[in-house]
Structure 1
Amino acid sequence: MLLRRALFGLALLPLLDDRALAAPADLAFKVIREGREVGTHRVTFRDDGGLLRARSQVRIAITLAGFTVFRYSHETEEAWQGERLVGLASRLDRNGRQSGCEVRAEGDGLRLRGSAGDVLLPAAAAPLTWWRAASFAPGVPLFDPREGRPVEPRLERRPEAGGQRVTLVGGEGAVILYDGRGAWVGFETTGEDGSAIRYARG
């Protein structure tokens, strides 16, 4: 219900005076754990009368001897007006444990309400949803949409293969790859059990 109410609220956000953004191409990844495909991560985009809406869906299931021993489902919908996030709804189900958050533009900031509490973020804040390279520019405040928690990872950026490699140091850690146009093309992290996780296009 949290996500349903939040998505309904996103549909009612007022349009601000700004140019409409062309929706990026949809993204689809296979989630590979220790060389074996265990799930998918998809991001779809649409231009909604000047709002860019991005919907991310992560589905992971790990089986052992025919039994599912780990299940992970995360859905996030973002609404962007130009370079500003104006709304977000997120819901995570991790082995039956649910968490999430909602974000709304509020004055000169973003009101974040989630499982981790209620906080007013700077207007420039962005979620860790990976697809948007500009979110990892210097000085951008970040938050984890899984529980609605502000985070301050150390970021390392360097050119790679004509694009950019962004490394998040601290916490779970991650490597995010973007091509020369800024499109998200790769992802690597370490699972809670120490397993190597990577994304493959497709």
Structure 2
Amino acid sequence: MAAVAEGEAMMAMGDGEVIQERSRGTRRRAVLAAPALLLAARARAEEGDFSFRVMRRGEQVGTHTVHFAQAGRERVATSEFLVVPRVLGIVVYRFEHRYEEVTEGGRFRRVTSRLNRNGRIVEVRGEAVAGAVLLDGTEGPQRLPAEAAPLSWWEPQRLGRVPIFGTTTGKLLAITWEVGREARVCHGEVEAVARYDAAGRWVGFSARGEDGNDIEYAPA
């Protein structure tokens, strides 16, 4: 299973930020050239918000919602990702990732994240300051480039253009991107595909989990 923010690209996707390699080459080019091959459903809880069902092998195993609020000049995005697969009605695993990102004029300002991976808690904090982004996570305090930003799939303009850090680990991600008009394909520590409509709005997501099964987002 996989978990978006990288949370989704993590859980098993959960950014462990480790996702098993997806096939490349022709398959990747096809994704960029033929968006219809991937899940592409608009998901609105409210105007501007996102609400998805997390699907694995045709069954819902979780949810991912993103809610936006305006606080003066700042926009606050609250992402909540929850995966709780069950066997015979019994929860066999729990993956919860909640984080809050603040931007101003489209620029990253700060983020706080809390991951509960089956009882193991990881907290990450990051803030943009003069000339740098200060990050504190699993590897302790770090000073990142000033343009660094978290892996937030609903912010396609940053993907492939600035250094990206994981909100479930608090470190820069070793990733590369294929940027298409309506897709962002990520390789490396995170292997995933995010889909966007013509206006740049996030509408779909697909990744492969550690167990080898694909997860996809469906409209809630």
TM-score, reference length from structure 2: 0.76
> Which structure 2 residues correspond to residues 47-62 of structure 1 after superposition, within 5 A?
47-62=70-85
Partners of 1:167 and 1:55 in 2: CA distance: 24
Pick one of 121, 127, 130 that aligns with 2:153: 130
Partners of 1:37 and 1:186 in 2: CA distance: 15
Contact 1:172–1:190 (Cα < 8 Å) also in 2: no
Residue of structure 2 in register with 1:165 after alignment: 183
Partners of 1:123 and 1:158 in 2: CA distance: 25
Give, in angstroms, the shift of residue 137 of structure 1.
3.9
> Which structure 2 residues correspond to residues 85-164 of structure 1 after superposition, within 5 A?
85-138=108-161, 140-159=162-181, 164=182
Partner SS, residue 198 of structure 1? strand
> Which structure 2 residues correspond to residues 69-80 of structure 1 after superposition, within 5 A?
69-80=92-103
- 2:202 equivalent to 1:179: no
Partner SS, residue 129 of structure 1? coil
Residue of structure 1 in register with 2:54 after alignment: 31
Partners of 2:167 and 2:70 in 1: CA distance: 22
Give, in angstroms, the shift of residue 66 of structure 1.
2.5
Partner SS, residue 151 of structure 1? coil
Aligned-residue identity in percent: 37
Give, in angstroms, the shift of residue 170 of structure 1.
1.7
Count of aligned residue pairs for this structure pair: 175
User: Structure 2: which 5+ residue stretches go unaligned?
Assistant: 1-46
Give the ranges of 4+ consecutive aligned residues of structure 1 lying more than 3 Å apart after TM superposition.
none
- Counterpart amino acid of 1:155? W
Partners of 2:65 and 2:86 in 1: CA distance: 21
- Counterpart amino acid of 2:213? S
Partners of 1:109 and 1:158 in 2: CA distance: 29
TM-score, reference length from structure 1: 0.82
Give, in angstroms, the shift of residue 149 of structure 1.
1.3
Partners of 2:219 and 2:156 in 1: CA distance: 17
Greater strand percent: which structure? 1
Deviations 1:39-90 (A, max 9, x none): 1000000111000110000011001123211111000101101132111000
Residue of structure 2 in register with 1:200 after alignment: 218
Partners of 2:165 and 2:190 in 1: CA distance: 14
Contact 2:174–2:189 (Cα < 8 Å) also in 1: no
Specify which structure has the bigger relative contact order, considering alpha-carbon pairs within 8 angstroms and separated by 6 or more residues: 2
RMSD value, Cα: 1.5
Give, in angstroms, the shift of residue 172 of structure 1.
3.7
Partner SS, residue 149 of structure 1? coil
Residue of structure 1 in register with 2:42 after alignment: none
- Counterpart amino acid of 2:77? A
Partner SS, residue 145 of structure 1? coil
- Counterpart amino acid of 1:111? L
Contact 2:160–2:177 (Cα < 8 Å) also in 1: no
Deviations 1:135-180 (A, max 9, x none): 2143x00001001111121101223xxxx11111122400001111
